[in-house]
Each structure stands twice: as structure tokens, then as C-alpha cells.
Homo-oligomer: A and B are copies of this chain.
């Protein structure tokens, strides 16, 4: 686990310097490097394509940007930190006074050493972000301003990795990959999804998995628009964002509020041994805004450690490699794997001996000698599974009602199944093999 955390951290360190945006070569390069971890497919959608209420914007690429003082010194320099440029700034080249420049400068007076992160995707504009300390040091002189960028027809790029399972039912795992040099938000999420894909590929899985590496908002809108026909296959979904900081884990429920993924994450976190927080859905945040829009209402939740906007470094230059920890990354991934494993194993059974208990002792499933004070957890789990398996309750239902961990319930079910005392009930029509209508 520690090795995995280090590997995730290494990937983030490698991706950190790249200047990403919602389109452009930074995003492409990021996806290409991710292909070393998971065999994702890159999709290119042309500028101008209509995606529901939105239009794919011009592609943005930037080579250089600076503000030079009369001595030729770069007082603001994109090469030093790509956050210095307002993301999606239009090209600019010229001389201007400090007074004229000021409306284009953005700082964080409450954190005078940090550079803020600002964007202007859908309104043509330009600007520079800098530390408030540097801002206050600007002399009232004439500056040379250069933004060597292009904003022109091109493509929106996203990455997708489909991992086929035994059934066509899908679990969607998504992250936004559009932020420039910001680690927790969201290179941590990108790393989690990539390594999750790599790990799951070598495990048996009933479900098919779809991993998305997309620009925020426009990316999920684009994906949903292009995949509307297959959306009914999505049974569960999860977004990973801000999963590398040392804070406790936070799970934000889907719009449905009590979807199976919501209950699975809550159960896993409850037994994780770590403090955690559950928060209700709200339509502000990440791509759950789109996945949980009323026309889709997909059961998609969000896993974070400290949620966006609740840590001071959020959307500033202080969201750097110092903010994240290999151990935090690994633990976040471990909890996601645990929740997905739960979903994989969350089946519904029907007790084949529903009238009174079956004689477990005769089958070697129960200790022979009576009179003891308390049964072992494994015995209790057998009794719970038998008692509750009337065909209407999943193993997670039983775990929740019994107060026992899902793992104990699942092991009991396996044992009972092996002894012919349970039979699986397949409640999901979608998990049947797809039929071709000829």
C-alpha cells in the first residue's frame, strides 16, 4: 500500500508542471502520460460541436506569458508558474501603465505569498495572477505585457478507459483533469482513477467499469451528450477529487441520497477505522452537477478528503506537492477499492430452508457444544444471512441491519451458498446478457 501511495505521488509529481486547461496540448500530454498507467482512449471533439446547451469552445494553447518592467525583468512570469496566467486568456501584446494593468491583476490579500488560480473559459478576457506581496511591489511604471497564446478552433480532448466485466452493467469513475499546476485539486483524483483502473483490471469483476479523465463541466457534458444511449447501463458512479491531502475522508452523497453507492461508501468508511464525514448532495461541486442533473439523475457520489473550498490552499499555488501525502492517496484508493468490492459482492439471496433455521451443526457450520454466552461473529453472520434472505434484501441491507461488517456477511453468504442453503436472486434485468434483436 505504501508503495502504491509512492507511485501515485510520483505520477502527480510528473504531471504537476504541465499547464492544463479544458482543452489544448497540456491536457493531451497529460492523457498520453496516463496511458502508461491505464490503456485509456483519447477522444477529440471539434470546436463548435453542440453538446446539450453548450458549445465546444475554441482550443486554447499557451507558450509564454509575462509582464516585464522597463529594465526587462519579468515581474510576472508564466515560465515560473503557470498559475500566473488567467487560464484561457486571449493573446495580448503591448505596453501599459500599472494603472491600466491593474484591472487585469488578481491576488489574494489574505494569503499574500500565494498566487490564486483564475479562469475565464467562456468569456474572452485576459489577466495575470500573482502574490499580493509581488503586487504591492509593482512600481508605477510602464510595463510590457505579453500573452503568447492561441484561442482558435481545435478540439476538446478527454480520456476514457472501458474495462469490460461479466455483465454490461457499468460503474462509472470520473475525475477532472483540466487544472494546471494544482495537486490536490485534482491531480490527486487523476492519479486515483488511473491507478484504480490499473488495479481493477487484474481483479475479477462482475461489473464493467468506465474511467473518465475529462475537463470539468464541459467534459462531463460532452461525454453525457455523446453517450446518451448507454447511460442506462450505469448502475453506480463515483467522482474522485481532492483525495491527497492529510484531512479525513468525506463522501458526498448522490442526488438520490440513498443509492447503493451512497450506502456502500458509508458502510466502508464506517468500518475504515478512520474518522470521516458524510455530506448530502448539493448541486455545486464537481461533475456530479452534470451526472446528477434531473435529466440523468445518476447515482454518482464524490469522494474527497478535505472538500473543495474548505482548505485554505484550494485553488492557489499552495495546492502543491507539499499539500499531498502518499499515505493519504493510498488510503483514499483503498477505500474506493473497498466500496467497489462491496458493490461487486452485494448480491441478493433467498434462503432455501426458510422455515426455521437449518441445522448448521450437522453441516459443521456451528460449534457442537451448547451453553456458551455469546456466539462467534461468524455464527451470528450465518444466522443473520439466513434470517434476512427472503429474496428482497441485499447483503448490504443485511450488514446494515445486523451491525456486522459487510465482509462477515458476505463470507457467511458464500459458506451458505456452498452448502446449498442459499440461492441467488438476480433482481437486475440489466445484468442479463444483452440480447440482439434480429
Contacts and interface: CB of A to CB of B under 8 A. Distances in A.
Interface of A: 51-54, 86-87, 116-123, 125, 217, 220-221, 224-225, 228, 255, 282-284, 289-290, 292-297, 309, 314-315, 351, 353-359, 361-362, 368-375, 379-380, 383-384, 386-390, 402
Q: Which 3 A-B pairs have the closest CB atoms?
A: A295-B354, A295-B355, A283-B387
B255 A387 contact: yes
Given A119-B369, A119-B371, A369-B118, A383 B284 contact: yes
8 contacts: A120-B368, A121-B370, A225-B355, A282-B380, A283-B380, A283-B384, A289-B357, A289-B383
A371 B315 contact: yes
A297 B387 CA distance: 9
Residue of A315, A354, A361, A373 ringed by the most chain B CB atoms within 10 A: A373
Given A54-B356, A294-B390, A315-B372, 4 more contacts: A283-B386, A284-B375, A293-B351, A296-B356
Copies in the complex: 3
B389 A123 contact: no
Nearest to A129: B371
A interface majority secondary structure? loop
B122 A362 contact: yes
A312 B90 CA distance: 74
Nearest to A290: B356
Contact of A387 (B121, B294, B383, B390): B294
B123 A359 contact: no
B122 A359 contact: yes
Given A282-B402, A369-B120, A402-B282, A357 B290 contact: yes
Contacts of A51: 356
A116 B294 CA distance: 61
A356 B283 contact: no
Contacts of A388: 283, 294
A361 B351 CA distance: 56
Given A282-B384, A375-B284, A356 B220 contact: yes
A314 B386 CA distance: 27
A294 B371 contact: no
A359 B255 CA distance: 20
Given A289-B383, A369-B118, A361 B315 contact: no
B292 A387 contact: yes
A118 B371 contact: yes
A53 B358 contact: yes
Contacts of A296: 355-356
